[in-house]
Structure 1
Amino acid sequence: MSDITIDTALLGEKIVNVLKTIYDPEIPVDIYELGLIYDVFVNEDYEVKILMTLTTPNCPVAETLPLEVEEKVKSLNEVKDAEVEITFDPPWTQELMSEEAKLELGML
């Protein structure tokens, strides 16, 4: 049982590293640092579910960004399947951005 926990934790880190390679096309900061990723779930079957939001409901990449996230996460060898769920509850605000992102955008 403990092996699975270690594996999913390591896989979680790998997933976060992949998420940090995906950028919002309008903001020069990755989607993880922007705070668009609300949660990452990994089950024992290495199926991943990502709960994320977009900066606005009519975001120009509303169609393509979730697909890009799914594809990149699925490309990890350990991942059997990946699904992205978009939510606007709670809505994204600049408060969700990491210090790094705020610094990058000159907000600090």
Structure 2
Amino acid sequence: MSEEVINTQELGEKIVQVLKTIYDPEIPVDIYELGLIYDVFVNEVRDVKILMTLTSPNCPVAETLPVEVEEKVKSLNAVKDAIVEITFDPPWTQDLMSEEAKLELGML
């Protein structure tokens, strides 16, 4: 049996849907709309790397949020492995939030 060729863009979209189910506990907006996800990399062998940030280095969920992201992404059948990398470069600002998130928080 030959290994199935996967559509990395399609898998990326599924990953984004999963990310939209994870919420920052302090802000009632998902981490994707909040702008905490900087990049999602998917390769042909279904390894996923997520580059994300937190609202601040002292964020109370700094220990648990990346683990939750990794576990939820790994729960997708099409994902072989997932790694979450945290960066503070560039630092998160409210400008990274989607219009939807700003509307939700009454900022528009």
What is the one-letter code of the residue matched to 2:75? Answer: S
TM-score by length of 1: 0.95
Distance in 2, matches of 1:7 and 1:44, equals 8
CA RMSD of the aligned region, Å? 1.1
What is the one-letter code of the residue matched to 1:94? Answer: Q
Distance in 2, matches of 1:85 and 1:58, equals 16
Give, in angstroms, the shift of residue 104 of structure 1: 0.1
Equivalent residue, structure 1, for 2:64: 64
The percentage of aligned residue pairs carrying the same residue is 87
Distance in 2, matches of 1:71 and 1:24, equals 16
What is the one-letter code of the residue matched to 1:50? Answer: I
Give, in angstroms, the shift of residue 46 of structure 1: 0.3
Work out the number of aligned pairs and report it: 105
Equivalent residue, structure 1, for 2:26: 26
Runs of 4+ in 1 over 3 A off after TM superposition: none
Equivalent residue, structure 2, for 1:89: 89
- Structure 2, unmatched stretches of 5+, are none
Report which of the two has the higher share of helix: 1
What is the one-letter code of the residue matched to 2:73? Answer: V
**1:43 is aligned to 2:43:** yes
